[in-house]
Amino acid sequence: MNRASRLIKVLDKALNRYDSFGDNPDAFIDSVLTEIEEPLERLRQKSKPEHWVEIYVERDRARIKQEVLNRVMALGSE
Protein backbone atom coordinates (compact mmCIF):
# COMPACT_ATOMS: atom_id res chain seq x y z
CA MET A 1 0.00 0.00 0.00
CA ASN A 2 1.48 3.34 -0.96
CA ARG A 3 1.50 6.52 1.11
CA ALA A 4 -1.57 8.00 -0.58
CA SER A 5 -3.56 4.80 -0.02
CA ARG A 6 -2.55 4.79 3.63
CA LEU A 7 -3.61 8.41 4.03
CA ILE A 8 -6.99 7.70 2.44
CA LYS A 9 -7.45 4.64 4.67
CA VAL A 10 -6.67 6.65 7.83
CA LEU A 11 -9.01 9.42 6.65
CA ASP A 12 -11.82 6.91 6.09
CA LYS A 13 -11.26 5.44 9.57
CA ALA A 14 -11.32 8.90 11.12
CA LEU A 15 -14.60 9.71 9.38
CA ASN A 16 -16.13 6.36 10.32
CA ARG A 17 -15.74 7.18 14.00
CA TYR A 18 -18.62 9.63 13.72
CA ASP A 19 -22.26 8.60 13.58
CA SER A 20 -23.35 12.12 12.65
CA PHE A 21 -21.86 15.48 11.81
CA GLY A 22 -24.92 17.46 12.86
CA ASP A 23 -25.88 20.62 11.03
CA ASN A 24 -22.28 21.76 10.53
CA PRO A 25 -20.01 19.07 9.05
CA ASP A 26 -17.38 21.71 8.28
CA ALA A 27 -16.78 22.06 12.02
CA PHE A 28 -15.14 18.61 11.97
CA ILE A 29 -12.53 19.35 9.30
CA ASP A 30 -9.78 20.57 11.62
CA SER A 31 -10.14 17.67 14.04
CA VAL A 32 -10.09 15.14 11.18
CA LEU A 33 -7.02 16.84 9.69
CA THR A 34 -5.33 16.51 13.07
CA GLU A 35 -6.11 12.77 13.07
CA ILE A 36 -4.45 12.26 9.68
CA GLU A 37 -1.46 14.49 10.40
CA GLU A 38 1.12 11.69 10.65
CA PRO A 39 0.34 9.89 7.37
CA LEU A 40 -0.07 13.26 5.67
CA GLU A 41 3.42 14.29 6.75
CA ARG A 42 4.86 10.97 5.52
CA LEU A 43 3.17 11.53 2.17
CA ARG A 44 4.54 15.05 1.91
CA GLN A 45 8.08 13.90 2.75
CA LYS A 46 8.26 11.33 -0.03
CA SER A 47 5.51 12.28 -2.40
CA LYS A 48 5.42 11.02 -5.95
CA PRO A 49 3.18 12.21 -8.77
CA GLU A 50 1.20 8.97 -8.69
CA HIS A 51 0.35 9.59 -5.02
CA TRP A 52 -1.27 12.89 -5.90
CA VAL A 53 -3.10 11.34 -8.85
CA GLU A 54 -4.62 8.84 -6.43
CA ILE A 55 -5.68 11.65 -4.10
CA TYR A 56 -7.24 13.61 -6.98
CA VAL A 57 -9.21 10.52 -8.05
CA GLU A 58 -10.40 9.97 -4.48
CA ARG A 59 -11.45 13.63 -4.26
CA ASP A 60 -13.39 13.35 -7.52
CA ARG A 61 -15.00 10.12 -6.33
CA ALA A 62 -16.15 11.95 -3.19
CA ARG A 63 -17.64 14.78 -5.27
CA ILE A 64 -19.55 12.33 -7.45
CA LYS A 65 -20.79 10.44 -4.38
CA GLN A 66 -21.95 13.71 -2.81
CA GLU A 67 -23.92 14.71 -5.90
CA VAL A 68 -25.49 11.26 -6.27
CA LEU A 69 -26.53 11.28 -2.60
CA ASN A 70 -27.94 14.80 -2.93
CA ARG A 71 -30.09 13.61 -5.83
CA VAL A 72 -31.17 10.53 -3.89
CA MET A 73 -32.20 12.75 -0.98
CA ALA A 74 -34.13 15.04 -3.34
CA LEU A 75 -35.96 12.05 -4.79
CA GLY A 76 -36.73 10.81 -1.29
CA SER A 77 -38.32 14.09 -0.31
CA GLU A 78 -40.73 14.18 -3.26
pLDDT tens-digit map of 13-46: 999 999 999 999 999 999 999 999 999 999 999 9
**pLDDT score, position 78:** 80
**Is 61 within 8 Å of 15 (Cβ atoms)?**
no
pTM summary value: 0.87
What pLDDT band is residue 77 in, cutting at 50, 70 and 90?
confident
**In this prediction, what percent of the chain has a pLDDT beyond 70?**
100
Q: Left (φ > 0), alpha (ψ -120 to 50) or beta: where does 2 sit?
A: beta
**pLDDT score, position 31:** 96
